[in-house]
Structure 1
Amino acid sequence: MRIGCLILASGQGKRFGSNKLLADLCGRPLLAHTLDCLPSGVFAKTLVVTRWPQVAQLCAARGVACLLHDREDRSDVIRLGIRYMEGMDGCLVCQGDQPLCRPASLAALAQAFERQPECIHRLAWQGVGASPVLFGAAHFSALASLPPKTGGSAVLKRFPRQIRLTEAQSPCELWDADTPQALERIARALQSPPLP
């Protein structure tokens, strides 16, 4: 089964105050940490979708495919990315500012999808679903035709009975860096000893 990975890295950083994807996190850009979360050998394709030329340069330096665009609407960004996933059986949709996901958790999400490819699989903590989300190819058309100003959550609302949850190993895996304070919390978690 072939699974792709789509990383959304197009946010304008209004709440953060700057381009958070390139913000320093323990000596490296935030997005570099997110890319390092991807488990080896699990994804047949990986694509970063961004409006930022500096992000595209970071991806090029790491050998990661990147689509640079000038779209404003989130639905357009997802539409652009999901087209790249043609031929995949499923696609994991990740946020570029979620750098604490563990490779083992993302691999477990992919394994859950392989067992139930007709379902939508979400990483969760204590039974509450969050991002990343793994959509099967049957949902690609819905992702490609999202209403304006909506994201993948619109598909989740359309198909609630098809959602399955995979528990993360730690709640911090679901944290994102929407503000400088959130990034500081993530940095503290990175510098703390790993949980057993």
Structure 2
Amino acid sequence: MACGCSKRFGSNKLLAPFRGQPLCERVFQRHPMELFQQNLVVTRYPQAAIFASQQGFSVVEVFDGPEDVAQTIRLGLQAVDSRAAGCLFAVCDQPLLRPESIQKLVAAFLAHPQAVVALGWQGRRGNPICFPRPLFGELAQLPAQHGGSWVVNAHPERLLVVEAAGPEELEDVDRPEDLARLEALL
């Protein structure tokens, strides 16, 4: 998901430089495409769409309306293949997320296909997160401004948290100082 308005950042954080390249480009490049039958990016930003397409993602463009994570989720789900057993939702502002952790997440989902599988650290749930197909209907009906946590909280018995390799993987960029702090960790 590359659709937020970056209000706290002050400019489009997806295009902010991180280690010599736009933040979203780094995230797209680190995504293990081969693990998925489909790789989609939902975005409202033409430059993010270009970077996503260059990496082999199919792009779902949001053309109008205010920032709304529920709308982003709905648009993404509408583009998911009808045979997919589940869907991984990842945000585009976690530059330290490792491909190996996504592989662990997918392996756990394949072993537990009815679970909601999230990456976490020491009991703290984070992103990305895999949802099984039976929950797609609830995700498609999310109230405005509510994300997948709404559905996770409604089904705590389904939650399986997979441990990240380190806490930095769950860190996201909301402000310029977050970007600088995460760059310093490398």
Give the TM-score band, short-chain normalised. over 0.9
**Quick check: 1:143 aligned with 2:109?**
no
* 1:41-77 CA distance string (max 9 Å, x none): 2111111101111111222233321111123222111
What's the counterpart of residue 19 of structure 2?
A: 26
- Give the counterpart letter for 1:31 in structure 2: C
What's the counterpart of residue 102 of structure 2?
A: 106
Conserved in 1, the CA contact under 8 Å of 2:29 and 2:55?
no
Q: Which moved more, 1:45-54 or 1:64-73?
A: 64-73
- Give the counterpart letter for 1:47 in structure 2: L
* 1:1-27 CA distance string (max 9 Å, x none): xxxxxxx11110100001001110011
**Quick check: 1:59 aligned with 2:52?**
yes
What's the counterpart of residue 65 of structure 2?
A: 71
Aligned positions, number: 183
Conserved in 1, the CA contact under 8 Å of 2:30 and 2:99?
yes
Q: Please, what TM-score do these two structures have when normalized by structure 1?
A: 0.90
- Give the counterpart letter for 2:119 in structure 1: L
Alignment counterpart, residue 84 of structure 1, candidates 79, 82, 86: 79
Conserved in 2, the CA contact under 8 Å of 1:51 and 1:71?
no
- In 2: Cα distance, 1:87 partner to 1:58 partner: 27
Q: Secondary structure at the match of 2:87?
A: strand
- In 2: Cα distance, 1:31 partner to 1:12 partner: 14
Q: Secondary structure at the match of 1:9?
A: coil
Alignment counterpart, residue 37 of structure 1, candidates 17, 30, 35: 30
- In 2: Cα distance, 1:22 partner to 1:163 partner: 33
- In 2: Cα distance, 1:57 partner to 1:98 partner: 19
- Give the counterpart letter for 2:175 in structure 1: T
Q: Percent identity over the alignment?
A: 40
The answer for unaligned runs of 5 or more in structure 2 is: none
Q: Runs of 4 or more off by more than 3 Å in structure 1?
A: none
Q: Secondary structure at the match of 2:34?
A: coil
- Give the counterpart letter for 2:34 in structure 1: G
- In 1: Cα distance, 2:61 partner to 2:139 partner: 19
Q: Secondary structure at the match of 1:123?
A: strand
CA RMSD of aligned residues (A): 1.1
